[in-house]
A and B are shown apart, each in its own frame.
Chain A
Amino acid sequence: QQPVQSPQAVILREGEDAVINCSSSKALYSVHWYRQKHGEAPVFLMILLKGGEQKGHEKISASFNVKKQQSSLYLTASQLSYSGTYFCGTAYMDTGRRALTFGSGTRLQVQP
């Protein structure tokens, strides 16, 4: 079952903040976040393994709420380089840690 990402797309000005959400209908083992720029491969940003865990990567951080089966990605003071499509990948408790099911992606565009 594919996780649901929202919003589908967002346009920001440099310096603005954004939140991307990822929701699952199944119990989660972990949540991965990737960014893919046009014509390139997805690049790993971070993984969240424990409930309530928050990870940071430069000005990009994420949280994981196990009870709600949700994760959110926070982009602070966005830069032009943040533009791309963000995917959450979820691993489920019943299928083990290796199998990732990706959401449909959130296209982020940062404008000057």
Chain B
Amino acid sequence: DTAVSQTPKYLVTQMGNDKSIKCEQNLGHDTMYWYKQDSKKFLKIMFSYNNKELIINETVPNRFSPKSPDKAHLNLHINSLELGDSAVYFCASSRYNEQFFGPGTRLTVL
């Protein structure tokens, strides 16, 4: 009965690789988000989708590409990974105001 789930939980990869993180919510929410939390715990919005439509696209390198196949899923694909991409990535969803966060994916780029 997990509300917002992410896979994988941990991701260790080499610089230059391409990787994807998947997110699914079973709450019936219409809006989903991707956040990046760096080593200093700063939580920053990256993208937001509402009903599969991109509504927020913060200043994020275009190596990051979100994809929303349906309202319940928002995946994040990252090309040509760099050391600075190492962080915890959180997916979240909301219907009105309260945002529910997934457990996070810890990405380590070596």
Contact = CB atoms under 8 A, between A and B. Distances in A.
Given A42-B43, A98-B50, A47 B97 contact: yes
A68 B48 CA distance: 28
Given A101-B45, A102-B43, A102-B44, A40 B55 contact: no
B101 to A, nearest CB: 4
Interface string A72-95: 000000000000010101000000
B102 A41 contact: yes
Interface in A94-112: 97-102, 104-105
Dominant SS among interface residues on chain B: strand
Most buried by A among B43, B56, B101: B43
Given A30-B97, A47-B97, A41 B103 contact: yes
5 closest pairs, A vs B, by CB? A41-B101, A102-B43, A44-B98, A47-B97, A42-B101
